[in-house]
């Protein structure tokens, strides 16, 4: 089980993976909006998206968990 965390503070602009999806290392899970930029949040492991911990529009701080990959 791996936690995918926000690399910086910002708001969740888009979730690009759904719970239950198969994802591979490097694939984007979510895109944050911060400093007027799109910030892709990729998974660092291959597996299944077990849980998405945030919704679109949420504010996340650096280090907050975005998704859990199994």
Partner 1 sequence: MPTNQTLEERAKKIAAGGGEKYHSKNAEKGKMFVRERLQLLFDEDIDVEDAFFANCQNESLPADGVVTGIGRINGEKVCVMANDSTVKAGSWGARTVEKIIRIQETALKLNLPMLYLVDSAGARITDQVEMFPNRRGAGRIFHNQIKLSGRVPQVCLLFGPSAAGGAYIPAFCDIVVMVDKNASMYLGSPRMAEKVIGEKVTLEEMGGANMHCSVSGCGDVLAKDESDAIAFARNYLSYFPQSYRELPKKTESRQPAPFEKSIEQLIPENQNAPFDMYQLIERLVDDASFCEIKKKFAPELITGLSRIEGRPVGIIANQPRAKGGVLFPDSADKAAKFIQLCDAFNIPLLFLADIPGFMIGTKVERAGIIRHGAKMLSAMSEATVPKISVIVRKAYGAGLYAMAGPAFEPDACLALPTAQIAVMGPEAAVNAVYANKIAALPEEDRPAFIKEKQEEYKENIDIYRLASEMIIDDIVQPNKLREELACRYDAYETKDVIFTERKHGVYPV
As given in the structure block, the two tokens for residue 54 are 């945030």
Per rule CB under 8 A, is residue 57 in the interface with partner 1? no
Per rule CB under 8 A, is residue 62 in the interface with partner 1? yes
Closest-CA residue to 65 (of 2, 1, 13, 5): 5
Per rule CB under 8 A, is residue 1 in the interface with partner 1? no
* Sequence-distant (≥ 6) Cβ neighbours of residue 21 within 8 angstroms: 48, 49
Q: Which of 16, 21, 27, 40 binds partner 1 (CB under 8 A)?
A: 40
Residues found near partner 1 in the complex (CB under 8 A): 7-9, 34-40, 61-62
């Amino acid at each position: 089980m791996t936690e995918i965390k926000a690399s910086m503070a910002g708001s969740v602009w888009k979730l690009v993976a759904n719970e239950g999806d198969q994802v591979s290392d490097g694939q984007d899970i979510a895109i944050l909006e911060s400093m007027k930029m799109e910030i892709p949040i990729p998974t660092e492991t291959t597996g299944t998206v077990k849980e998405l911990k945030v919704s679109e529009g949420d504010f996340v701080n650096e280090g907050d968990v975005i998704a859990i990959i199994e």
